[in-house]
Chain A
Amino acid sequence: MLKGLVKLFKKKRKDEIKAVDGVSFEIKEGEIFGLLGPNGAGKTTLIKCISTLLIPDEGTATVGGYDINKDPLGVRRMIGVLTGGERSLYWKLTPVENLKYFAALYGVPRKKTAERIDYLLELMDLKNKARERVERLSSGMKQKLSIARTLIHDPPILLIDEPTLGLDPYFARFIRGFIKDELHTKLGKTILLTTHYMDEADELCERVAFMYNGKIKALDTPVLLKQSMPQEQVLEVKCLGDLDNEVFKHFRESVSLNIGKQDGLTYIRMNTENPEDLLSRVIDTVRERVKVLSVIVTSPTLEDVFVHLTGASLKDDYSQRPQNALRDR
C-alpha cells in the first residue's frame, strides 16, 4: 500500500524534478497490478522506492506489512526484484554459483538451498546449463536465470520492471506466459509489474494504473478503463510515408487523435463515435500526401485510453510528446 509517495530529484541548484508525485494505491494479495506509462513516467523510480533502493522525500509504502522507511530489511525479505535482466548476474560464475550466492544473501536455509536451486533450474529449463558460466548462456537463458535469482527466497511479492524490454517476440511471449501461469496462477505471487507495452498490461494485469509525469492518472481494470472512453470505436489508418502532424490540426476539435511513426509508416488512430463519417475526411486529407495501406475500425485499447487521458503516447517511436500526440480535450 502506497500513501502519498513523493520522490524529487534535484537537477541543478534550484531545479527539481518530481519523478514520483504523490502516488497512492493499494495492491491486493495475489493480484497482478500493472503500472503503465511511457519512458520517464516515474515507474522505475517508484519500484526503486518500494524496493528500498531509493528513499522517498514524502509519504511511505507498506510492503507485506513492513514500512519502507521504518523497516527496509523487513521489506526486502518480502520482495523479489526483477530488474536489469541479464546484467543482474555474475557472468563469470555458473548459474548454480550465482543462485548459491543470492541464496546466502537472502537467508535461504542451507539445507533448502540445493533443493531450491534444483527446483528453479528445472522450472526455468536451465538444468543442462547449471555448470556453465553465465557469459556462455544466450540472452534468453540469462533472463531466465535472472527470474530464478528473483525467486530464490520464494518471496510472496514480486516487483517486475519492464520484463520484456528488448526481448525477441518469442521470448517475450514466454515471459508473459510464465508471469501469468506460473508466478500468478500456480505460485500465487502478488506482482507489481511496470511496462510501457499496452498489450502486456492488458494481457497480464488484473488492474492497471496509468502513470504519467510522476502521477497516477487513472486506476482500474483494463476492461473498465477501456469502457471509460467517451467514444466506443477507434478508426485506425495505416499509411506509407511520413505525414506532418499539422495536417490533422482541424481534427483536433472533434476527436482524440494519436499519430505514430515507425519504419516509414504512419499510424493514425482516432477515437470516434462515427468512424464512417470520419473515414472520408481522413482519406481526403491524407491521400495526396501518402499512400493509404489499410483502414480498420476497432475497439479502444489501453493505449487509446492513455492517449485520451494524458495526450501522450506510450510507445518509444512516437514519444516526442506533446508534438506527436495531437489530442484535444
Chain B
Amino acid sequence: MRVIIAEIKKDVKILLAYPIEIVFWIISPLLWVVPLIFQGKALIGGLHSTAFSNLAGTGEYIPYVLIGGIFSTYMFTAVWSMGNALRNEMFYGTLEHILSSPVRPFYILLGKALYNSILSTFFVAVQISICVIFFGLTITLTRIIPIVFFLLLLMIGLYGVGFIAAALTLLIKESQGILHLFEYILFLFTPIRYPVEVHPITRAVSVFIPLTYALVALRGILLGIEFDFVKNSLVLLGLDAAIVPLGIWIFMRIEKRTKTKGTLAHY
C-alpha cells in the first residue's frame, strides 16, 4: 500500500511541476465536450431525434453523446497515461531503478493506475460541472451511488487495459502509434458517440469491452433509459475478472521478454 501511495504522490508532484500542463487539464475537458454538443445540434437541429431513439432507446442525442464523451475519459486516460507511464520512466532514466527495487512491478503499475483514476475523476468532474452549469444536465444525489458503483467496475477493468498498454509500450518502445490505435478502436466499437447497434460488427465486438456496459448503465441511470442493472453489473464484474489477470499476465510476459532480450531501458 505504501508503494502505491508513494507512486501516486510522486506522479502528482511531477504533474504539479508543469504549470502549463495543469492549465491544459483544466481547459481540455471543455474543448473535448463542447464540439460533441455542437455536432449534435448541427446534425439533429434540436434536442430530440426520433431516428436516433429507435437505436439508442432515447431521442436525446446531445445528453447521450455528452455522457459517452465524459465517461470514456476514464478509458482514454487509462490507456494514454498507463501507456506513457513507463515510457516517461524510460526518459527520466529511472525505469531500471524502480524495476531493480524489491517491489513487484504490479504495485508500481497499480499506483500509476490509481493516479490515473484521480486524474480522470478530476477531468470528469470538470466536464460534468460544465454540463450542469451550461447545458442543463441534472444529477441528483440518489443517482450518485449507482454511478460510482458502475464507475468502480469500469475502472477495475480499465486497469487491466492499462496494464496491456504499459506492456506494449515496454515492448515496442514508441507508444504514440499503438495508443492512437487503441483509442480509435474504442471509438469505433463502443457506444461513445453512437449506439453499437448501428452495425452488426460493432455490436459483436463491443460485448468484449467493459466501457460498453458501463456506458449503457450510466446512460440508463442519468437519462432514465431502461437497462438491466444486474446483467450489466455481472458482465462488468466478469470482464474485470478476465481482463485484469490477463493484463497482469501480458505485462509479466513482456517484462520477462525485455529482460531476456536486454531491451528494458531502450527507448
Contact = CB atoms under 8 A, between A and B. Distances in A.
Contact of A84 (B10, B96, B259): B96
Contacts of B17: 92-93, 133
Contacts, number: 88
Interface string B83-111: 00000000011101111111110001000
B45 interface: no
Contact of B98 (A48, A77, A87, A105): A105
Contacts of A51: 100
B92 A76 contact: no
Contact of A9 (B9, B104, B256, B261): B261
A55 B256 contact: yes
A198 to B, nearest CB: 27
A202 interface: no
A140 B107 CA distance: 32
Contacts of B262: 7, 9, 19, 45, 48, 54
A97 B97 contact: no
A175 interface: no
Interface in B9-30: 9-10, 13-14, 17-18
A91 interface: yes
User: For this complex, into which size category does the number of interface residues on chain A fall?
Assistant: 35 or more
B259 A54 contact: yes
Given A104-B2, A104-B3, A90 B102 contact: no
B264 interface: yes
Nearest to A82: B97
B107 to A, nearest CB: 9
Contacts of A186: none
Contact of A73 (B14, B93, B102, B108): B102
A53 interface: yes
B6 interface: yes
B255 to A, nearest CB: 10
B142 interface: no
Contacts of A81: 96-97, 100
B140 interface: no
Contacts of A178: none
A107 B10 CA distance: 16
Contacts of B261: 9-10
A119 interface: no
A100 B5 CA distance: 11
A97 B97 CA distance: 15
A90 B92 contact: yes
A91 B92 contact: yes
A259 to B, nearest CB: 33
A74 B103 CA distance: 10
A45 to B, nearest CB: 7
A4 to B, nearest CB: 18
21 contacts: A48-B262, A53-B99, A53-B100, A54-B264, A55-B260, A76-B100, A77-B102, A81-B96, A81-B97, A84-B97, A87-B92, A87-B93, A88-B93, A88-B97, A90-B92, A91-B92, A93-B10, A97-B13, A105-B6, A105-B98, A133-B17
Given A10-B261, A87-B94, A104-B2, 7 more contacts: A53-B96, A53-B259, A73-B104, A90-B14, A92-B18, A100-B6, A101-B10
A-B CB proximity, top 6 nearest: A87-B93, A104-B6, A92-B17, A105-B101, A76-B102, A77-B102
Interface of B: 2-3, 5-6, 9-10, 13-14, 17-18, 92-94, 96-104, 108, 256, 259-262, 264
